[in-house]
Amino acid sequence: MIKPYAPGYVKIDGTLYNEDITHTGDVSITWKHRNRLTQYENMPIQNDSTSYAVEATTTYTIEVYDEGDSLVNTYAGLTGESWTYTDAMERADCGIGASPAPLNTSLRFKIWAVRGSYISEKHNIVSTRV
Q: Taking the complete model, does pTM exceed 0.85, yes or no?
A: yes
Range of 20-24, 41-45, 99-103 with top mean pLDDT = 99-103
Q: Is position 2 within any domain?
A: no
Average pLDDT over residues 62-83: 96
The answer to whether position 93 is within a domain reads yes
How many domains, in total, are found in the chain?
Answer: 1
Q: Which of 17-26, 73-82, 97-106, 117-126 has the lowest mean pLDDT?
A: 17-26
Contacts of 95 (CB under 8 A, 6+ apart): none
Whether 3 maps to a domain, the answer reads no
CATH number (domain holding residue 105):
2.60.40.10
Average pLDDT estimate for 27-43:
82
Domain residue limits at 74:
8-129
The pLDDT, as a whole number, for residue 117 is 94
- Structural domain contains residue 25: yes
Is the pLDDT reported for residue 91 higher than 80?
A: yes
